[in-house]
């Protein structure tokens, strides 16, 4: 039951991702050519628009009673940053800062349960009083232009979470149009890599698994 639930969730996300990618590809960038148009050249810095963007963390439950629990989807609501992008150059970059206490539990109708889990995430898991910010800064970026005018991008950078710094590689699909940058992607991290103890409840019979999935749909515009 658990496996089917997670597979259904991932299948829905990948369908949504495909739809978004398809809509990006239909924006009329055209096929690659020897001369770059202004929309394909470097434009930046772009400012991330949190109101138009989305950052989601998905967790999976485990333990003896996990079949009676459910997985969680958590939205990060307060984040900011800048991005620059130029295909084929080393001048592309992303700097992102997240307010660790800006977590909101989605799809939980019980207000008491939602508030209890959000409080535990802030106070016991992320310890936001000690570590109020999560940051990601790129060290290198590679990109490959697709036939539809979008780009497959690999961001290699430093993720600072819970006071721990680790190098991460984040894949993304990027498009440029009308002075805006649009990036979508999905990646996974292990909580224990950042000295985070996965949350447990119901006297430890239900736990959050170590691996969590992060997905993003970021819109950034020129100021």
Query: What domains are there in the chain, each with its CATH number?
Result: 2-27+42-221 (2.40.128.110)
Structure tokens at 168: 């991460």
Query: What pLDDT digit, counting tens, does each position of 11-65 carry?
Result: 444 434 444 344 333 333 333 334 444 444 545 689 999 999 999 999 987 654 4
Q: Whole-model pTM?
A: 0.74
Max CA-CA distance within the chain? 63
Dihedral over alpha carbons 60, 137, 127, 196 (to 10 degrees): 50
CB-based burial label for 27 (10 Å; 0-12, 13-18, 19+)? middle
Distance (Å, whole) CA 50 – CA 47: 9
Q: Which of 109-113, 177-181, 183-187, 190-194 has the lowest mean pLDDT?
A: 109-113
Structure tokens at 9: 């969730």
What sections of the chain are H helices per DSSP?
2-25, 111-120
């Amino acid at each position: 039951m658990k496996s089917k639930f997670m597979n259904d969730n991932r299948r829905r996300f990948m369908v949504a991702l495909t739809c978004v990618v398809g809509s990006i590809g239909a924006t009329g960038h055209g096929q690659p050519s020897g001369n770059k148009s202004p929309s394909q050249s470097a434009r930046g810095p772009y400012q991330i628009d949190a109101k138009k963007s989305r950052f989601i963390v998905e967790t999976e439950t485990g333990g003896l009673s996990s079949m009676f629990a459910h997985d969680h989807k958590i939205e990060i609501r307060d984040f900011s940053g800048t991005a620059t992008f130029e295909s084929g150059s080393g001048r592309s970059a992303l700097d992102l800062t997240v307010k660790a206490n800006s977590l909101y539990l989605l799809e939980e109708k019980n207000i008491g349960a939602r508030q209890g889990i959000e409080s535990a995430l802030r106070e016991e898991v992320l310890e936001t009083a000690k570590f109020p910010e999560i940051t990601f800064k790129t060290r290198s970026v590679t990109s490959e232009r697709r036939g539809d005018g979008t780009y497959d991008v690999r961001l290699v950078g430093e993720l600072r979470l819970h006071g721990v710094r680790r190098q991460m590689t984040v894949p993304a699909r990027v498009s440029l149009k009308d002075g805006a940058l649009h990036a979508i992607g999905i990646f996974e991290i292990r909580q224990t890599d950042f000295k985070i103890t996965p949350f447990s409840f119901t006297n430890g019979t239900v736990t959050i698994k170590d691996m969590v999935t992060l997905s993003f749909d970021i819109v950034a515009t020129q100021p």
